Structures are given as structure tokens and as C-alpha cells.
Structure 1
């Protein structure tokens, strides 16, 4: 399905119109989600045989980039669903159908959320503060606190993980719970500077039990070559980059329109004729031009099973950091040429300025990314 058919201009305009209200009211994007479901958006990664759109990562990233030009917070939250469906798709492409049910349920309308992030856990997927306790029937109970749980008002399936230390070697247990599972609480604590419509509330697990058939991986603590970890990083980092690329793209578009519209009192000409402003617009355009091919190329390599070996993780975290930092720089440049009106509440550029700041908090952060890349090129630091 062409992107213009999946996300037609009139649909994006409705999303853009609603984004302002969601932000002002600190409200979840229920209407956007309903329309995306109706378009089959949640089943993009599922095969056509399963009722999905049969997209790969490159096509999904392009769709998320386009969606983010209208509603970045909506796109960011939908990312978390797409990470899980993307993981199921990438695993299947590599001969592992263990999460095929994720794709089938997404087509049926289930909404998946990502409940892995924990405060103070800089090991990310390689360790957990959450306690996973094995039960006699093969199920696991989970007790711990997950932060930044996007889609909190709407998810029906939550992917979580925790650490089981009962054996000789501790292991990390990955599983899904449902909305109906007892033993969890969603806090009403999402009152943030930006990305407000994502409603990424804190989720407290207090003995929430995942049944045995939804416990889908047990991995050792620490880095591992398991395809699950590769698939999560590939989808998470690439789709984050797509959202922030779309955000930067929209900022540049707004800046161009604004400087054509504003006129100088001194010259009577539009600010598009001012040499300093032209320089800033050119700087923003130059920065954005470098993102588009990198995003497309990396996503295409994932789809085509290209073997980058030890360079895969540096490439993925590098894309994420470059996209989020470039978008932040571009929005700043565009604010500088667009006048004081951007400082008022309700201005779209002002909202993009607040939204883009969230990029620095997503894993991998700047420090972690530099460490990953340095290790890939220089080897680990000697003890």
C-alpha cells in the first residue's frame, strides 16, 4: 500500500489539528489511534496472509516518519506497538516464529506496549531491577517498576522482563501480560514538558503473572547474541530515528513557509531574502538531507539480512543519536528565524521544540552510544 494511501494528506491534517489539543490537555490520542487502527496501521508488519500490510522495516520507518510530521507524540507512542510487531517480524524473517501470535493479535486489534524501561537501569536490556519468580506451572510473576510505558491508557498487551535469580545462574525472563492480568497499577504521573499525548505513565508490577505460553525468552544477564536483542534494538532505534526525522522535516517545512510569509519593515521584502536567515534555513536543510538516506539504508539492510557483524549496534545507536540531535538542532535553527510568536503556547513550532527534547532521554543516550561506538572501533577499556 502506498504511504499516501495509508496516511493520506487529509488524515494527517486531522492528526495535526488534534495534536495541539492533546498537548494542551495532556490527553491521550484516542481519536488518532482509532483512525490508525481503521487504516490497518497496527498490522503493518504482519504478512498479507495474516491480514496485515506485509511491510518491512524500511516501509514502516517511512510511515512513521510521515506520521511524525503531523503528530510526533502519536508517532512516538505507536512506535512501542511497532517495536513488538517489528520484533516478531524480524524474528520470523530469521527463522524464528515464536512471536507469530503477536502479529496475528495486532491484526485483530490488540495494542502492544513496551514495559521494559526502569529508573536507574543503565544496563537497559542486559539486566533488570524487576524480580521474576518462577511458578510451578511454568508461568512467572513479576514485581518491579517500569517507567515511560507509552500507550498506558490503551495497551491490551504489555511486554515486560525481569530477573530470575533462583537458579545457579541468574536469567532475564521476557513475557507478555494482558490488560486483564491482576497485579499491576498504572500511575497517573505523565505531566511532562513535551510528547504529552504519548501518556507514557509509570507501571508498577506487584506479582503480575504471565502464563507459561506467554513467557517467550530466558536469556543470561549481560550482552548476548540472541536474535531477540538484535531485533529489539533494530526496531527501537530505527523507528525512534524515523519519528525524530519526521519531526525535523516538519520544522523545516514550517520555517520555509514562515520566512516567506514574514516581511522586513526595513526592506519591505520577505525574510526569505535576508542573507542571515537564508543561511540558517540552508543549515537546517543540509542537516536534514544527511538523515534521510541513513535512515532508509539502515532499515533496508535489516530487511535484507545484511551482515554488519560487530558494527550493527554502532550503526543503530549512531542513527538514533544523529536523528534526535539533528532534529533538535534543526528545530532550534527554525525557531530562531520564525519570530517571537513561536514562544506562545499553542504554536506548533513551540510544541515541536518541547517534543524534540525527549529524544535525548531515549536509549541509547549520547553517553551509551559513544561507549558502544568506541568499543566497536577501539575495543573495550582495559581493566
Structure 2
């Protein structure tokens, strides 16, 4: 079987980092049944993630991180997703956010310094909490109903956030809110142990159940003024290369489905045949189709990541390119998983195999930002202009 990662690992550093992702991937795979059944994120997997110092990898070297390039970040994320896409997507948000804060310098130096040190020294984990029932995806521009009201040297924060991946396992939340006295949207760093903060178990979805993306509830949470770490700017947002962790995750799921489908085809021989189905023409056609789709997806995603890393002066112009990668790769991943299901046939629907889980999980990629319609519209307008 072709190892899709062999040609992607370029040097000893990447090999060493990749081995961390391999160990996390194997641990995550061991807990698939219970995490998918119970819609929970495995504490045992998180323990291994922290033992591998994975949360600090995108931090600068001066903090004890590895200053991961985007290419390396995607490589590791894809490998973890091969074990369990839900784990990769969940921890990917943390690593991507730390990369964003480092590269874009969105916070004051002392605010970032404080969080970065805790991540490096204690492997603490953070995620943004932005989505709300009424606003839908924050990329659509809705104003948060979560509200922060100034009272002297404090802000009182009240609201509810949905889709908070790893909600009950995070150390900090970066919460978006309408800031009353500023008449702007801002972001607050909220400690999970702060009085008034709770998690409500609401996660009951078809796929990506292991992200444990429950609701975060804030009931008159008292915060210091310094906990307001960002205020939304009026200008056009800069392209965010780290968001390619999303297509990397779904590509990893597709690779896992492809691997299982080939193993199935090599070992399944119905009594109507004198050979395994891997030797049947129409099955080979499907395997070949999976291969060229994966080759295209890997080439597009990793060449874009290389460009991001090698040409920082071009990053401001890469918004459409990044969005196109997300659209192309997540849709391709869904197509590859569908082909794997067709190879497995009716057995692919059985809980005895992983195919039905891949099928459910990979669908979630279509609903992560940016959405397909927004990308297509962006590309059309750029072409017309």
C-alpha cells in the first residue's frame, strides 16, 4: 500500500515531529468507539497530546515551542485525523489560534506572553467560542448576542456559545461579545474556572461527535478590563493560513477510508469469485479514482502551504487561494470516502467497520468555514473584476 505521507516528510525535523502526531493518532484510534458513541473527547487522548507537548508546537522557540511552519502543521494534523478526525479538528483549533496570535500580533505583548507561557509550561489548551444559535457561523458577519457590560474596572459577560469544541476540556475560552461601552465586537480571555462559567451538554450530531462541541454558558461572569484581549477592527480581515487545518483534517479522514477500503478489497472474496475483489476491474477503477483525487488534493493543499511559508510578503493576496483549497479538499475528501463506501458495499454501513463513521465525519467539512457558496462567490467576483 502506498504511504501517502512518505513523500511529504522532507527532513529529520519533520520526521521527529511527525512521530508525535503518529503517537497521538494511535491513541485517538484506541478510543473511537466510546468517543463516537458518547459524543465525548477522550481525556486519555488529551493526556497523550500534552505528553507530546503538542499544544505548544506552534509557539515561538523562545517560549519552548517548535515554531511550526504551516506545511508542518498540516502534515501533523492530517496524520492525527487518520486516527480520528474529531481529535485532529479539536486540537487543530488550539494550535491554529496560537499560530494566528503569534503571526498577526492581535494581542498586546504582555497578554500574549502570559498565555503563551502557560501553554508552553503547562500545555494548557484554548479555543475561540464564537458561534451562537441566532448568528450561525461568525464568518457570516452576525453580531454576537453575548454581551459585555462595563462596571468600573470590570466587564460583566453574559451569553451562550455553541459548537465549542472540547468545551469541557479547555483551560481558557476566547469569547466574542458585543462590548457595550465601545459599541464594538470584542474578544475576552475567560478562565474555565471563573464563577458563572459552565458547559451544557448539547452535542448530539451525526458526525464529528468526538469533538464534544457542547454549549458554553456565561452567566454574569466578572472579568477584568485586561481580559478584553481583542477588539474587532473595521478593515478587511487578513487571510488566515492556519485555517487550512480544516481541509487537512478531512483529508486525513479520506486517507484512512482509502486505506481501509484497499485492505477490505484485498481480503474480501465472496464465494461467487475465485479471487479477492481487489482484482475485479470496477473495484480497481474505484481505487484508481481515489488515488488521483487524493494526489490532486495533497498537491493543491501542500503547495499552497509551501507558498505561504516561503513568501510571507504574498500572504495578504492569498485569501482566495486559501478558500479554494478548503472548498476543493473537503469536497474531494467526501468523494473519496464515498468511493470507499462503494468498495465496501453494504458492509460499509455496518458498525463493525469504520466506513460509516468516516462517511458521517467527512460531511462536517462542508459546514466548517469558509462555506462553499461564499468561496464560489468570492472567486467569481475576483474573476469578473
Distance 1:349 1:377, change over 3 A: same
What per-residue deviation string (whole Å, max 9, x for no partner) do you get for residues 137-165 of structure 1?
Answer: 55433333211000111101001112235
TM-score (ref. length: structure 2): 0.87
SS at match of 1:239: helix
Match of 1:68 in 2: 81
- TM score, norm. by length of structure 1: 0.88
Following superposition, the deviation at residue 196 of structure 1 comes to: 1.2
Using the TM superposition, give the Cα deviation of residue 12 of structure 1 relative to its aligned residue in structure 2, in angstroms. 3.1
- Tell me whether 1:313 sits opposite 2:328 in the alignment: no
Tell whether 2:191 aligns with 1:185.
no
- Distance (whole Å) between structure 2 residues aligned to residue 63 and residue 35 of structure 1: 15
Contact 1:263 1:269 in 2 (8 A): yes
Q: Which runs of 5+ in 1 are unaligned?
A: none
Structure 1 residue 362 corresponds to structure 2 residue 365: no
CA contact (8 A) 1:130 1:161 kept: no
Say which SS state the counterpart of residue 288 (structure 2) adopts: helix
What secondary structure is seen at the aligned counterpart in 2 of 1:135? strand
The structure 1 segments of at least 4 consecutive aligned residues displaced by more than 6 Å after TM superposition are none
Partner residue of 1:230?
238
Separation (CA, whole Å) in 1 of partners of 2:309 and 2:107: 13
Q: In structure 1, what is the equivalent of residue 138 of structure 2?
A: 124
- Corresponding residue for 1:200? 213
Q: Matches of 2:180 and 2:380 in 1, distance apart?
A: 32
1:240 alignment partner in structure 2: 246
Relative distance call for 1:303 and 1:309 in structure 2 (3 A) is closer
Question: How many corresponding residue pairs?
Answer: 368
User: Which of residues 333, 337, 356 in structure 1 aligns to 2:343?
Assistant: 337
| Counterpart-to-counterpart distance in 2, 1:249 and 1:153 | 29
* Partner residue in 2 for 1:150: 165
1:162 is matched with which residue?
177
Give the CA deviation at 1:104.
2.0
Pairing 1:15-26 to 2, within 5 Å after superposition: 15-26=28-39
* TM-superposed deviation, 1:40: 0.6
Q: Is 2:72 aligned against 1:59?
A: yes
* 1:361 to 1:260, Cα distance in 2 relative to 1, 3 A: same
Deviation of the 1:185 alpha carbon: 3.0
Conserved in 2, the CA contact under 8 Å of 1:132 and 1:140?
Answer: no
Closer/same/farther in 2, CA of residues 177 and 294 from structure 1, 3 Å limit: same
Q: In 2, are the aligned partners of 1:44 and 1:55 still within 8 Å (CA)?
A: yes
TM-superposed deviation, 1:28:
1.9
Structure 2 counterpart of 1:300, from 293, 306, 317:
306
TM-align CA RMSD: 2.4
User: Which segment drifts farther, 345-354 or 47-56?
Assistant: 47-56
Q: In the alignment, does 2:266 pair up with 1:260?
A: yes
Task: Find the residue that maps to 1:55 and give its secondary structure.
Answer: coil
